[in-house]
Structure formats: C-alpha cells, structure tokens
Amino acid sequence: MSDDPAVRAELRAQIETRRAGITAFLHDVRPRRNRLTNISIVSSALAAVLVAGPAVGGIAFTNTVKDELSIATAAGVWRPLCIAALIVSLVSVISANLSKSQDLAARVTAAEVCSTELEGVATNLQFGHLSVEEAAEQYHQSVSKIPFVEDKPHSSDPTWERPLS
C-alpha cells in the first residue's frame, strides 16, 4: 500500500467518517441504556417500598391503615399494595431484560473503546508515526469490534446515502 499523501488523507477521512458514526450511535444508545437502567432501579426500589409496610408492620400496619382510610378489611390495604408492587416489579424486570437483550452496556463500551482507538490511529497517521498500511490494519481491527455501528456521512460528501434498514 502506498504512503501517498492522498491515500493517507483518504484513510483519515474514512476514520473520521467512522468516528462520526460511532458518535451518532453513542448519542442514540447512551440515553436508552441510561433510561432502561434508571427505570429498572427506580421500579425495583418502588416495589420494595410498596411491600415494606405490610411485610414489616404486619397486622398492626394493615389495621392502622385500614382504620385511617376507613377501609372495610385489612385485605383492602395489602392487596392494592401487592398488586402495585407486582406491576412495578414487572416493569423493573422488563426494562432490565430489554437492556440485557440488546446488550446496550457492552455495545456502548465497545463503541467508546473503538472511538478512542480510531482517534489514536488518526493522530498517529496525521503525524507520520504510522504508515498507511499499518494505520489501515489498525483501523480494520478496531472497526471489526463494532459491526452494529453504521458509518455516518461526512458533511462534505454529498453522494453518501444512508443504507436502507
């Protein structure tokens, strides 16, 4: 492979295009990962809170709440709490499993690592610390770890079209 400046510039542009795709991917996926994680944490804590009263306070808790709210039976206290706990527990399980099934945490980490690696390749390529051949090899090794990330068009490339999915 030639160390021609034009080839070097083309590889740098390709690296920047891939890094732009990684940035766009991270911009989309990080909030989803965080949202699913937060929903899971909050809903599992809420489920624990909902069952804590009857579990810890027992009959005294349910009788007190029954009398304060003028509910006919103690079951009228603990049943709604248990149903609410069941619902938020299901929300917690679903959000945690959605995050795991999409492997969001691992994908975000892989994309972040790849972006950092590509930044190093681009810098070394720019300052002549790598030949074009070595840089191309490192580029391919890095991007092979993130097949789930699409390239993003370079703003100067009017011919690029997003692939249909």
pLDDT tens-digit map of 24-81: 999 999 999 999 999 999 999 999 999 999 999 999 999 999 999 999 999 999 999 9
- What's the gap between Cα 13 and its chain centre? 27
Query: Is residue 148 a part of any domain in this protein?
Result: no
Query: Is residue 150 a part of any domain in this protein?
Result: no
pTM for the complete prediction? 0.75
Query: Is residue 151 a part of any domain in this protein?
Result: no
d(CA 145, CA 43): 33
- What's the gap between Cα 50 and its chain centre? 29
Q: Which two tokens stand for residue 48?
A: 């624990």
Query: Is residue 42 a part of any domain in this protein?
Result: yes
d(CA 67, CA 71): 6
Taking CB atoms within 8 Å and a gap of at least 24, the contacts of 91-100 are 91/39, 91/43, 92/39, 92/40, 92/41, 92/43, 92/44, 92/47, 93/40, 95/36, 95/37, 95/39, 95/40, 95/43, 96/36, 96/40, 98/36, 99/33, 99/36, 99/37, 99/40
List the domain range (segments joined by +) for residue 53. 5-143
Least confident of 107-111, 116-120, 161-165: 161-165
Query: Is residue 69 a part of any domain in this protein?
Result: yes
Q: What are phi and psi of 2, to 5 degrees?
A: -80, 150
> Which of 143, 71, 148 lies closest to 108, judged by CA?
148
Query: Is residue 28 a part of any domain in this protein?
Result: yes
Query: Is residue 35 a part of any domain in this protein?
Result: yes
- What's the gap between Cα 125 and its chain centre? 31
What is the number of domains present in the chain? 1
Query: Is residue 52 a part of any domain in this protein?
Result: yes
Mean pLDDT score across all residues of the chain: 91
pLDDT of residue 163: 44
